[in-house]
Structure 1
Amino acid sequence: MTDKLPDEQKKSSIQQPFQDFIRSMNYLFQEKPVKGLFQNMDDFFSSPYPFNGFPIQMDENEKEYIISAKLSGVKKDHIDIDVFQQYITITVQNTETEVNEDTEEKFIFKKNSLQKTSRTITLAKPIDEQKVKAHYEDGLLTIRVGKEKGKRLRIE
């Protein structure tokens, strides 16, 4: 005869499918193809600016608009700023080439990667391209856009 009481037998038979399911799920997530997929997802989400680019803050005072972009770890020559009539586009582009050469096995592995992120800032009024100044220091890009004063009309 068994040592288990009828209630314990019911409890044990109910827990068994869940234990099998949990064991199967643990096995699934620890196997290489799925583990590699999750690693790729982790790498994607841990990159600095995966979706909306880099953080931008815009302030203004009486004389100018001040646009600040946090670009930590970016070199100055990887930044392009395009000024248009009513908007500014900041583009960060990084190209890397990795070459591994094995003379014994007689093969060369070459990997090229391109990362490009851009943000466009729309301004309320047209801007004078001559009055736009940019400065980059310690991972902070600051763009100053002079405001144009229009003619105010008196209503009769």
Structure 2
Amino acid sequence: MKKDKKEHDEFLPVFSQLDPLPGRFSQFFDPAYIQSLLKPFHDLFDTAMSLPFFHFDTHETDQEWVLEGKLPGVKKEQIRIESYDHVLTISIHQDQHIEQTNDEKQMTQMFKSHGKFAKSFYLPAYLDVQRIKASFQNEKLKIVIPSKKTKINID
């Protein structure tokens, strides 16, 4: 390994002659410097892609069909529920605006991101989609759809 470092060090005089500001040219090839340049972009994509894929559970009784899902970090205002042609769609919209200023107030970074997550469920034809009820408490979404099925008694 010392041999590799020594071979690398042989090129430093060449680079230093090309560098009008001593240390700047070699700094550009330093991995830590490159990472510091790319960090804001990396952080931007981390926050922009942070919209998770939520899991929902369904169960059914004789009277209703129930869908429940835990939505950590989501506010009620971000949730939109639609029903069309026996398809229930849950959409979650996330808008983020981040502004960072360094300590010396020499540089300000602004990031805006928009994300949308949507999941659709095909509903059985026997459900009464006109009477869908939804509640959202403690980051838990619960949707209840009454059944139109009727039990027919045999005489």
Say yes or no: TM over 0.5.
Answer: yes
**d(CA) in 2 for partners of 1:62 and 1:93?**
33
- Aligned pair 1:119/2:119, yes or no? yes
How many residue pairs match? The answer is 119
- Separation in 1 of the partners of 2:145 and 2:70? 18
Q: Confirm or deny: 8 A CA contact 1:85 1:127 kept in the other structure.
A: no
Tell me the equivalent position of 2:20.
none
In the alignment, is the contact (CA less than 8 A) between 1:85 and 1:126 conserved in 2?
no
Q: Does 1:131 align with 2:131?
A: yes
How far did residue 100 of structure 1 move?
A: 4.3
The whole-number CA distance in structure 2 between the counterparts of 1:128 and 1:66 is 12
**Counterparts of residues 1-156 of structure 1 (less than 5 Å):** 31-32=31-32, 43=46, 47=50, 49=52, 53-100=53-100, 105=106, 109-125=109-125, 127-149=127-149
Distance 2:82 2:90 in 1: 7
TM-score (norm 1): 0.59
Q: 1:78 to 1:70 in 2, by over 3 A?
A: same
Q: Does the 8 Å contact 2:51/2:115 carry over to 1?
A: no
Displacement of 1:145: 0.6
Query: Percent of aligned pairs with the same residue?
Result: 24
Distance 1:120 1:131, change over 3 A: same
Aligned-residue offset at 1:140: 0.6
- 1:135 is matched by which residue type in structure 2? S
In structure 1, list runs of 5 or more residues that go unmatched.
1-15, 21-30
1:121 CA displacement: 1.0
Question: What is the root-mean-square deviation of aligned Cα atoms in Å?
Answer: 3.9
For structure 2, the 5+ residue unaligned runs are: 5-30
Q: CA deviation at 1:80?
A: 0.5
